Amino acid sequence: MGLLSHLTHPKGKIWITLDKATFQEGEPVAGKINVEAEEYIPSIGLKVEARVVESWNEMVWITLPSNQRVQENQRRTNNLYQRDVQVTGASDFGKGPAREFPFSVGIPPCKPTRGGSSVQNVLKAVLQVKGRPDMTNETQIAFVPVGAYGSMPVNVGYGPGPMPAGYGPNPGYQQNPGYGMPPMNPAYQGYQGYGQPGYSVPPPQQQAPSVKVRCKYCTGLMEANAPHCPTCGAHQ
């Protein structure tokens, strides 16, 4: 090992697998920490860190190298909850297949304490390595309100398996004769569809053409049967 070996990260992988994708609020988060070493790693312990982190943007004043004061939008964070759970004690890891370590940790539901902020639930797996940087990996946890899931029955109508009652062919169903094409009667030949010859639509009534004549006095046009001229009012 060189003089700077205490600064080099161990060769290996660490990750978290959860027992399910989402958890109900107040339910312990259960899963496994997986450790796969690619070299000999002397560990002084394995732990999981639970954090509820609130984050928001905030305008702050900063001083530039030119001594100019300007405002800058910065991301701020605050831990609403934190808890560390020791999973294992000291253990050596050698090159080989990944090893699994089950864990369970409680994370209480936390609400934002300020407007415009967001809250994230984070789990971090930490393999504490003797004399070298730790191996770490983190994942976010999704929570749903109590009763939001888990009470709905499994839908057996998808994929192979029995079909729920009321779905699929119903042997007692009879087609309503009022829908679709009427039953064909060999003795009946008078049925015609819409738009086909035989569908009786009364033709529009035609009005007699209007006859115009000229007034005997002003020669203006007027109806032939009008008693008075609409222009001069003279009796015809």
Question: For 58-105, what is each residue's pLDDT tens digit?
Answer: 999 999 999 999 999 999 999 999 999 999 999 999 999 999 999 999
Is 217 a member of any domain?
no
Per-residue pLDDT band at 159 (split at 50, 70, 90): very low
User: What pLDDT, on a 0 to 100 scale, did the predictor assign at position 18?
Assistant: 97
Looking at the chain, the whole-number percentage of residues with pLDDT higher than 70 is 71
Beta strands in 27-107 (DSSP E): 29-37, 41-63, 69-88, 91-93, 99-105
8 A C-beta contact, residue 232 and residue 221: no
pLDDT, mean of residues 17-33: 95
Tally of domains in the chain: 1
Is 43 a member of any domain?
yes
Nearest to 44 by CA among 88, 12, 75, 107: 88
Is 191 a member of any domain?
no
Q: Which residue has the higher pLDDT, 223 or 57?
A: 57
How many Å apart are CA 48 and CA 160, to the nearest integer?
40
Is 51 a member of any domain?
yes
In this predicted structure, the answer to whether residue 9 has a pLDDT above a threshold of 80 is yes
In this predicted structure, the answer to whether residue 20 has a pLDDT above a threshold of 70 is yes
Per-residue pLDDT band at 40 (split at 50, 70, 90): very high
The CATH number of the domain holding residue 118 is 2.60.40.640
Averaged confidence pLDDT in the chain: 80
Domain that holds residue 11: 5-60+69-144
Q: Which residue has the higher pLDDT, 129 or 184?
A: 129
Looking at the chain, the whole-number percentage of residues with pLDDT higher than 90 is 56
Is 47 a member of any domain?
yes
User: Which amino acid makes up residue 21?
Assistant: A
Nearest to 79 by CA among 40, 44, 107: 107
User: What pLDDT, on a 0 to 100 scale, did the predictor assign at position 194?
Assistant: 46
Is 90 a member of any domain?
yes
User: What pLDDT, on a 0 to 100 scale, did the predictor assign at position 173?
Assistant: 45
Is 158 a member of any domain?
no
In this predicted structure, the answer to whether residue 17 has a pLDDT above a threshold of 60 is yes
Per-residue pLDDT band at 208 (split at 50, 70, 90): low
Is 26 a member of any domain?
yes
pLDDT, mean of residues 137-164: 61
Residue with tokens 């029995």: 162
How many Å apart are CA 102 and CA 16, to the nearest integer?
10
